[in-house]
Amino acid sequence: MHPKDISITAFTYELPGERIARYPLPGRDDSKLLVFDQGSICEDTYARLDQHLPSDSFLLFNNSRVIEARLLFQKSTGTEVEIFCLEPYHSNVSAAMQQQGTVEWRCMVGGAKKWKEDILSKSIPTDTGTVHLTAKKIKQENGTWIISFRWSPAELPFAAVLHLSGVLPLPPYLNRAAEKKDSDTYQTVYATSEGSVAAPTAGLHFTWELLQKLEQKGIGKAFITLHVGAGTFLPVKAETMKGHTMHAEFIDLSVGAIEAIRGNIGKPIVCVGTTSLRATESLYWMGVKLSKALAEDPSAAISAEDIAVQQWDPYEIRGSLTAAGSLDILLGWMKKTLATRLVVKTQILIAPGYRCRIAKGLITNFHQPQSTLLLLVAAVAGPQWRSIYEYALQHDFRFLSYGDGSLLWLAKE
C-alpha cells in the first residue's frame, strides 16, 4: 500500500488524560524504558540503557535547542497579542537566529483581529540596558503571518532578543503555562543549536552520567541538527494521508557528522528521537536524488534545494543505492562544492511501507493518537506498534513529551 492510501483512523488508541505527563520526573534517566526487540517486550529505566545496546552501537542525537518562540505584546488597552515564531521567511534557521537589527519570520498570531496598529512594540529591561523590539505585519500567507521584527541595540542577534523577551513554547497538550524550571527541563543537556519550537523529546531522558556510561562501553555517537517545527503537533485531519501535507523542517549537518554516519554503516545505528531518524533517512534520499541528477548531467550545478526531500520521494523514487553508496555520493558532492555543512529542508514522511536504509533502531517517547509521529513508530515497529502501546498503557508508562520512552529495534532483514 502506498502511504497516500493510509487512513489515519487506523492509527488511534485511547489515551486517558491522566497518562499524559505534565511534568518530568526529578531525574531525567529515571524515566521508564520499554525495549522492543524481535516481537518481545521488556522494561527498564533509561539509566540502564547501556545494558540494552551492543557495544558497537552508534547513537545519533539531535542537538537542536528550543527557542523562546512565543512573543507577547501588550497593547495600550491592556489586551495581549501573541506572536508565535514558526520559521524564518526566506532564510535558514541558523542564519536567521544570528541576524542583527531586523529579521522576517513566518508566525502564528493570537489575537490578530485586535492588532489594529501598524506596529506593536515592547521594551525589555536587562542588566546592561533596555532592548526595544517592534513587530510589523507584512502580509498573510497560507494561514500564517509574515512579521518583520526590528530591535535595538541592533548588534544583538535575534537569538538573544528571543531569549530576553520570549517565552518557551510548551506543547499544547500539557495544558499549562511554561514555568521557570521548564527552561532547563524542556531542553536536552546537549542542546547547542538554537532553532526548534518544540524539544526533540527522546533526548530529554539523557544525562551527562548516562552519556558517559555509554561512552565507557564503547558506544559511539554523533550530533546532528533538525530544527523541530510547530507542524510536529499538527493533527492529521484528512481522511487519508494523501490529503495531509507533511511539515518541512531544517536539517543542518556538518561534513564530519555525515562522515561519522558513513563510517558506521553496517553497525547498529540508533536514532535518538523521530527527528534524528527523519534527518538520517533524509540523507539517503538526498544521495539518491544527487545520483539521478548527476547521471542525467554530470556537469550540472546542483544546489542543496535541488536535493531537498519531498513528502512522497521515498515512495516514488527508486532507491537502489546502498546506504554507503548514497552517502558516498552526498559526501563527494559536498567536497567538490567545498561545502562544510549541509543546510536544507526535509519534508520526509516515514509511514508504514517505508524501509529504513540507515537506522537499525529508534529511541522515542510515546506519541499522540492519529499523528504522523505514530505513523513513524508503526513504520519502525510494524503492526506490533499496537501491542507496544497497549503494554505501555497497562504498565503505567507516562506518555508524550515529558513521559517515558522506548527503544525499538527494527526487524532484522
The predicted structure's pLDDT at residue 126: 87
Q: Model confidence at 180, in pLDDT bands (50, 70, 90)?
A: very high
SS3 sequence of 157-174: EHHHHHHHHCECCCCHHH
Q: Is the pLDDT of residue 230 over 90?
A: no
Residue type, 213: K
DSSP class of residue 186 equals: T
What tens digit of pLDDT does each residue of 111-155 get? Answer: 777 788 778 999 999 888 899 999 999 999 888 899 999 999 999
Peptide bond into 153 cis (omega under 30): yes
What tens digit of pLDDT does each residue of 333-352 get? Answer: 999 999 999 999 999 999 99
Q: Model confidence at 413, in pLDDT bands (50, 70, 90)?
A: low
Q: Is the pLDDT of residue 205 over 70?
A: yes
Number of continuous H segments (helices) and E segments (strands) in the chain:
10, 17
The grid cell for 246 is 507533511
Cα–Cα distance list, 174 to 20, 146, 275 (Å): 8, 27, 20
Domain extents for the chain? 3-65+187-409, 69-167
Measured CA to CA, the distance from residue 9 to residue 240 in angstroms comes to 9
Neighbours of 42 (CB within 10 A): 12
The CATH superfamily of 3-65+187-409 is QueA-like (3.40.1780.10)
Its pTM stands at 0.93
For 217, half-sphere exposure in the C-beta direction (CA atoms, 13 angstrom radius) is 21
Residue 1 vs residue 200, higher pLDDT: 200
Q: Model confidence at 63, in pLDDT bands (50, 70, 90)?
A: very high
Residue type, 255: V
Judge whether 290 and 333 are in contact, CB under 8 Å.
Answer: yes
Q: Helix or strand or coil: residue 253? A: strand
Q: In what order do the strands lie in the sheet with 144-152?
A: 70-74, 80-88, 102-110, 144-152, 129-141, 119-126
Q: Which of 31-35, 316-320, 322-326, 335-339 has the lowest mean pLDDT?
A: 316-320
Q: How wide is the angle at C-alpha 247 spanned by C-alphas 242 and 252, nearest 5°? A: 135
Measured CA to CA, the distance from residue 275 to residue 355 in angstroms comes to 16
Mean local confidence (pLDDT), 238-265? 94
Q: Helix or strand or coil: residue 216? A: helix
The predicted structure's pLDDT at residue 295: 92
The predicted structure's pLDDT at residue 8: 93
Burial classification of residue 254, based on how many CB atoms lie within 10 Å of its CB (0-12 exposed, 13-18 middle, 19 or more buried) = middle
Please, which residues have CB within 8 angstroms of residue 170's CB and are 6 or more apart in sequence?
A: 176, 177, 178, 182, 186
Mean local confidence (pLDDT), 181-202? 95
- The backbone region for 187, taken as left when phi is positive above 0, alpha when psi lies in -120 to 50, beta otherwise, is beta
Mean local confidence (pLDDT), 250-263? 96
The predicted structure's pLDDT at residue 112: 76
Measured CA to CA, the distance from residue 201 to residue 20 in angstroms comes to 14
Residue found under cell 529591561: 125
The predicted structure's pLDDT at residue 233: 67
What tens digit of pLDDT does each residue of 284-304 get? Answer: 999 999 999 999 999 889 999
**Percent of the chain with pLDDT strictly greater than 70:** 100
Judge whether 73 and 122 are in contact, CB under 8 Å.
Answer: yes
The predicted structure's pLDDT at residue 114: 78
Cα–Cα distance list, 41 to 33, 51, 65, 97, 105 (Å): 10, 15, 32, 43, 44
Measured CA to CA, the distance from residue 164 to residue 220 in angstroms comes to 36
Pairing mode, strands 70-74 and 64-66: unpaired
